[in-house]
A and B are shown apart, each in its own frame.
Chain A
């Protein structure tokens, strides 16, 4: 009889769950189509690495291991849960009937030890939620109640599991005590309890455990704990980790007939952006590393994702129908008349949930995306919404318009004349592509200078330094000179895809006309754009950042360096987001600096490499005023100064400007150098007797 009852309960639970599952899937489909099944091997690798091995969870040294333990425990305990369900349906079933003794004992031991470990982890996590209350778990309307309920549920599952196996032993089931040390100890407690009572406890405990599993399953669709089901597929389907897709913005089809460009509401996002909403477990890791949030601005990447989910659950029932089942309203379901339905449809994600101010605060530093343990792409949602603001509504901070207009007119975000572009090179004997082309020659590399490197007085020094390194190394290189135009990165990041595509196509045309193959640039934004995003428009080049190029030249001993040791300079290197998190270049600039040894001694700021804090200029923030909160660049400069560094090294003209400005605000005399300047300062001046120098330099560098 009890097996019939269990079968009924199970059918009901599975039925209810599958109803909810299909409801959630139907909601996803109000988003745009997008193919996320390309490059399966990489996706599978991400699933194993990020999903199963929990590499990103483990980035937090405290909560990471504890959560990973619960997750792995969850996987192990699924094997036991299957046994329970089989037991419920088939009288007297246990794995003992199908597994050979030692293997069954291994199963018992795994369940028992895992349950104990998970119980301990749950206790720790509850303590953290209730007593410690870490900052990143607060804010954005996030409540701990959901988490505390789930943790209690998991705890109860473990307790009932242990009680069931302990009473099993007390009732005379005999497994070696060594494989069930806890149950064996617990069973002692039941020794004096009457047989009938133990039997009753066993029965109740088994049923409780089984019912808790089914309750848990059905609670998920109503909770942030939906991530238990969704995060693995989300990691598999995500584009956030992989060569060629890291940080590359989606190409827009501008010719398509449409009323809305970009995203103003969930219906304009892709189904994957919506799946991100389901996957978010509100852990706040993204927000805790967001430079805008850290410095007191309105932006919280978590809120962007949570709002996307909230808006989806608000509007989707009104769009797809199916408001309720069995006359029971669902959370977020549209109830009532046509009028309230119209009011729902009138609401949007933009403005009603997410404000302009939040969207423009983003520096596109990718820290949020990088940190998310379940591979959510917060930045894609922000970018799509910025596109909507600019392309559909022409709504953006006032300061941005001159940059757009200047990009259109002058091919640079600043109002400089193209004719001034190569002024830095005057008297340096650097050929342009046009000149070489006319002579029928080709350079080894094209030096893409970038707008900042061409026009900004401070950045021009980096440009000159890098050119000097190339000359000292005997590299045959050319520049585009007047023919270089902005590749459009700032326009794209600020949501102006139309302007971006015009600029990108123009730049690609120029590069292809000269059959350019290898490009070296000292600007990480140009590096990322030309290398990772130009392929979308048929621009395929080998693009190398100058830090990597310098490092290679030094490693090959091609740059003649000075011999005298000089005074050791303590330097802190600041990672540029577009070099680091966007392109995984962390070592080359550090190596280049170290090779300038023994003059340079490197120190690291607490936030460095893939955890590095943005300078505040990315994502078009360079052209916007920073009016709210502390200044990101000042915050970053303070951190770098706290290392005791006598100089700060950068590998990006934007970081250079921001950290210099911060230095002035902080009245710091600590200088900022580009790595090219550090290396160029160490170049041996070529004198009459210097013929042996390059080879000596080689042996020095090789040490």
Chain B
């Protein structure tokens, strides 16, 4: 069982972002970076699959500059066997361009299962895995919350509006992972030390054509402060009026 997990390095999201001078991205000064949350679930799910089957290995692939090696090393310290950096100076915004590079790498790898997080937590497009599946001609299961592999076949549970959906699929396949499948393990020091000796291959990314670019990025408008219109029953008519005319919720 050979599993590939495609992971992305993203900034920590719980900060107050500033727009970069170019107006087309965020100011990266002072940001902390880590593996995208859903990708972390995917790595964990992949590791658990191989542990459960008692065979196979997990490879992790990431696209970007040398800084992504840190994210790849983290996955190696969690237990992945090999990492591949598809090197490019700037990660394009276009999911197709990225998917083409990933598909080129994955095609040669002979993987039984290709895993993604259901989306990156920064761009939040959730598109790349679809394009990769299409380029490789493989079935895709999106946003799995449970995943089992037995006898060369997979079954997965997907959360859908108001219920769940159990799907079966043949291998090889592409799956993307939703939260709830497994909490990513905390790498032990033993794992971190072992990761230093694991192979990390670097090759140029064979990016596809970039047809989508960001023109402008903006922050949501600052919320207006609350207003006190009065106290007690006397304030009610004014409140009702404002809810009708200003907030338009009544």
Are A394 and B191 within 8 A (Cβ)? Answer: yes
Are A259 and B190 within 8 A (Cβ)? Answer: yes
* Cα(A19)–Cα(B12), bound, Å: 63
CB proximity to B under 8 Å, residues A355-403: 390-394, 396, 401
| Chain A positions 403 through 427: 1 when the CB is less than 8 Å from some CB of chain B, otherwise 0 | 0110001100001010100000000
* Cα(A595)–Cα(B209), bound, Å: 76
Of the candidates B14, B186, B190, the one whose C-beta lies within 8 Å of that of A415 is B14
Nearest CB in chain B: distance from A492 CB, A: 13
Residues of A within 8 A of B191 (CB): 394
* Cα(A409)–Cα(B74), bound, Å: 14
Closest residue to B185 on the A side, CB-wise? A394
Residues of A within 8 A of B187 (CB): 394
Are B189 and A498 within 8 A (Cβ)? Answer: yes
Are B190 and A391 within 8 A (Cβ)? Answer: yes
Are B192 and A417 within 8 A (Cβ)? Answer: no
Of the candidates B15, B34, B185, B188, the one whose C-beta lies within 8 Å of that of A391 is B188
Nearest CB in chain A: distance from B217 CB, A: 21
* Cα(A404)–Cα(B183), bound, Å: 14
Are B32 and A409 within 8 A (Cβ)? Answer: yes
* Cα(A419)–Cα(B29), bound, Å: 13
Closest residue to B77 on the A side, CB-wise? A394
Are B188 and A393 within 8 A (Cβ)? Answer: yes
Residues of A within 8 A of B32 (CB): 409-410
| Chain B positions 183 through 209: 1 when the CB is less than 8 Å from some CB of chain A, otherwise 0 | 101111111100000000000000000
Nearest CB in chain A: distance from B196 CB, A: 11
* Cα(A437)–Cα(B23), bound, Å: 34
Are A404 and B12 within 8 A (Cβ)? Answer: no
Nearest CB in chain B: distance from A698 CB, A: 46
Are B189 and A391 within 8 A (Cβ)? Answer: yes
Are B189 and A261 within 8 A (Cβ)? Answer: yes
Nearest CB in chain B: distance from A109 CB, A: 63
Are A401 and B190 within 8 A (Cβ)? Answer: no
Residues of B within 8 A of A391 (CB): 188-190
**A254: interface (CB < 8 Å):** yes
Are B188 and A392 within 8 A (Cβ)? Answer: yes
State whether A254 and B189 are in contact (beta carbons under 8 Å apart), knowing that A409-B34, A415-B14, A417-B15 are contacts in the complex. yes
* Cα(A415)–Cα(B13), bound, Å: 12
Nearest CB in chain B: distance from A267 CB, A: 17
* Cα(A394)–Cα(B190), bound, Å: 9
Scoring B32, B34, B185, B186 by chain A CB atoms within 10 A of each residue's CB, the highest score goes to B186
| Chain A positions 260 through 304: 1 when the CB is less than 8 Å from some CB of chain B, otherwise 0 | 110000000000000000000000000000000000000000000
Closest residue to A257 on the B side, CB-wise? B193
Residues of A within 8 A of B16 (CB): 417, 419
Residues of B within 8 A of A409 (CB): 12, 32, 34
Closest residue to A252 on the B side, CB-wise? B189
Closest residue to B14 on the A side, CB-wise? A415
Query: Is chain B's interface secondary structure helix, strand, loop, or mixed overall?
Result: loop
Are B188 and A390 within 8 A (Cβ)? Answer: yes
* Cα(A412)–Cα(B190), bound, Å: 24
Scoring B15, B16, B190, B191 by chain A CB atoms within 10 A of each residue's CB, the highest score goes to B190
Nearest CB in chain B: distance from A653 CB, A: 23
* Cα(A410)–Cα(B191), bound, Å: 22
Nearest CB in chain B: distance from A610 CB, A: 35
Of the candidates A401, A419, A497, the one whose C-beta lies within 8 Å of that of B186 is A401
Residues of B within 8 A of A401 (CB): 183, 186
* Cα(A590)–Cα(B34), bound, Å: 47
* Cα(A254)–Cα(B12), bound, Å: 28
Closest residue to A499 on the B side, CB-wise? B189
* Cα(A401)–Cα(B191), bound, Å: 16
Residues of B within 8 A of A404 (CB): 186
CB proximity to A under 8 Å, residues B154-187: 183, 185-187
* Cα(A254)–Cα(B15), bound, Å: 32
Nearest CB in chain B: distance from A348 CB, A: 16
Residues of A within 8 A of B34 (CB): 409
Scoring A260, A391, A393, A419 by chain B CB atoms within 10 A of each residue's CB, the highest score goes to A391
| Chain B positions 3 through 46: 1 when the CB is less than 8 Å from some CB of chain A, otherwise 0 | 00000000010111000000000000000101000000000000
* Cα(A254)–Cα(B189), bound, Å: 9
* Cα(A497)–Cα(B32), bound, Å: 22
Nearest CB in chain B: distance from A244 CB, A: 26
* Cα(A245)–Cα(B32), bound, Å: 36
Nearest CB in chain A: distance from B183 CB, A: 8
Closest residue to A404 on the B side, CB-wise? B186
Residues of A within 8 A of B188 (CB): 261, 390-394
Nearest CB in chain A: distance from B88 CB, A: 26
Are A261 and B190 within 8 A (Cβ)? Answer: yes
Closest residue to A410 on the B side, CB-wise? B32
Closest residue to B188 on the A side, CB-wise? A394
Closest residue to A497 on the B side, CB-wise? B189
Nearest CB in chain A: distance from B65 CB, A: 21
Closest residue to A387 on the B side, CB-wise? B189
Closest residue to A389 on the B side, CB-wise? B188
Are B186 and A498 within 8 A (Cβ)? Answer: no
| Chain A positions 228 through 260: 1 when the CB is less than 8 Å from some CB of chain B, otherwise 0 | 000000000000000000000000001000011
Closest residue to A405 on the B side, CB-wise? B186
Closest residue to A259 on the B side, CB-wise? B190
Scoring A259, A394, A401 by chain B CB atoms within 10 A of each residue's CB, the highest score goes to A394
Residues of B within 8 A of A498 (CB): 189, 192
A-B contact pairs, 17 of them (CB 8 A): A261-B189, A261-B190, A390-B188, A390-B189, A391-B188, A392-B188, A394-B185, A401-B183, A401-B186, A404-B186, A405-B186, A409-B12, A409-B34, A410-B32, A415-B14, A419-B16, A497-B189
B interface list, Cβ under 8 A from A: 12, 14-16, 32, 34, 183, 185-192
Known: A392-B188, A410-B32; 16 extra A-B contacts, CB below 8 A, are A261-B188, A261-B190, A391-B188, A393-B190, A394-B185, A394-B186, A394-B187, A394-B191, A396-B186, A401-B183, A404-B186, A409-B32, A409-B34, A417-B14, A417-B16, A497-B189
For the complex of A and B, the 6 pairs showing the least CB-CB separation, nearest first, are: A391-B189, A394-B188, A498-B189, A392-B190, A409-B32, A261-B189
